[in-house]
């Protein structure tokens, strides 16, 4: 999954919101991602970085809808919209998206599940305990979560993912349309993120495909003491380990390099590249 950030303030430094022509740039980037090995593209219009300010639905709509509409005409892979708002999902699905990637697992907008069900779209349910008051910022390494408390880390995440699954079922979204994301980087400390990635296999027991998004995240930066622009190798290690632990999809910024990492890891652990 190649990330296309239609925002001016993405943590990863690749937001298109400050471009003179973000739609044209998104199409160019999307085509390159597909050529580099992306199987699908994920378009987002609201930064989810620690401490980011929320974006109104109208502004998010203006950012993502024209990008998705243009990409749908330009590439031959599925497009997902990274949003937690029903209105944004409605517009994005009408524009050509076929997947909704909800970083709040249906717990922010009660109408989102209905929109997904009515469109027959696929749904990514992510675990998230992000709270702005639990963040700490470092000028060189960026923001991270420092005060996240769990009774039992993996058990709590699993239980809260099951709550999201129940919300999807209540809207008649079938199991075959559901993908789970344990939420690496969202409301978890550096150490918790490393443990979550290493013990990812526990979530395979739930019976759904797993998506992970470790790309360029602060837990890599703080582990290696490296700024954002130097996290390619750390991301590669996280992607490879995640696949060995059961990840079926990886959400990345550096598509060309990570597609190669994924293919090689698949060849080693699953017998097919």
Among 5-14, 21-30, 264-273, name the one with the lowest average pLDDT. 5-14
What count of other Cβ atoms lies within 10 Å of the Cβ of residue 120? Answer: 11
Active site residue 251: yes
pLDDT at 48: 75
Cβ-based neighbours of 21, under 8 Å, separated by 6 or more = none
The DSSP-derived string for 115-144 is: HHHHHT-EEEEE-----GGGEEEETTTEEE
pLDDT at 189: 94
**pLDDT confidence of 139, banded at 50, 70, 90?**
confident
Residue-number span of the structural domain to which 119 is assigned: 2-269
Query: Would you give the DSSP letter of residue 12?
Result: T
Give the percent of the chain with pLDDT over 70: 93
Report how many domains make up the chain.
1
pLDDT at 12: 45
Classify 180 as helix, strand or coil. strand
Tens-digit pLDDT profile for residues 150-161: 999 999 999 999
User: Average pLDDT in the 28-42 region?
Assistant: 97
pLDDT at 133: 65
Q: What do you get for the CA distance between the two ends of the chain, in Å? A: 16
Give the percent of the chain with pLDDT over 90: 81
Among 45-49, 210-214, 233-237, name the one with the lowest average pLDDT. 45-49
**CATH code of 138's domain:** 3.20.20.20
Tens-digit pLDDT profile for residues 81-133: 999 999 999 999 999 999 999 999 999 999 999 999 999 999 999 999 988 76
Provide the whole-model pTM: 0.93
Options 63, 194, 245, 251, the catalytic residue:
251
Cβ-based neighbours of 271, under 8 Å, separated by 6 or more = none
Options 85, 217, 231, 245, the catalytic residue:
217
pLDDT at 148: 78
């Amino acid at each position: 999954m190649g990330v296309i950030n239609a925002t001016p303030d993405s943590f990863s430094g690749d937001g298109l919101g400050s471009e003179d022509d973000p739609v044209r740039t998104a199409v160019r980037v999307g085509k390159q991602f597909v050529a580099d090995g992306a199987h699908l593209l994920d378009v987002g219009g609201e930064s989810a970085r620690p401490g980011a300010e929320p974006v109104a639905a109208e502004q998010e709509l203006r950012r993502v809808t024209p990008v998705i509409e243009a990409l749908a005409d330009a590439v031959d892979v599925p497009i997902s919209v990274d949003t937690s708002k029903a209105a944004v999902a409605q517009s994005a699905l009408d524009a050509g998206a076929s997947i909704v990637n909800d970083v709040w697992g249906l717990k922010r907008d009660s109408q989102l599940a209905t929109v997904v069900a009515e469109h027959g779209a696929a749904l990514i349910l992510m675990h998230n305990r992000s709270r702005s008051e639990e963040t700490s910022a470092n000028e060189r390494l960026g923001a991270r979560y420092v005060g996240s408390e769990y009774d039992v880390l993996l058990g709590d995440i699993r239980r809260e993912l099951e709550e999201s699954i129940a919300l999807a079922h209540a809207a008649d979204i079938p199991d075959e349309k559901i993908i789970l994301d344990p939420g690496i980087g969202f409301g978890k400390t550096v150490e918790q993120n490393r443990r979550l990635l290493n013990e990812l296999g526990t979530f395979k027991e739930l019976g759904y495909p797993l998506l992970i998004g470790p790309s360029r995240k602060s837990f890599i930066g703080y582990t290696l003491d490296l700024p954002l622009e130097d996290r390619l190798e750390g991301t590669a290690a996280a992607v490879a380990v995640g696949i060995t632990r059961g990840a079926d999809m990886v959400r990345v910024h550096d598509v060309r390099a990570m597609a190669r990492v994924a293919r090689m890891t698949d060849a080693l652990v699953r017998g097919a590249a």
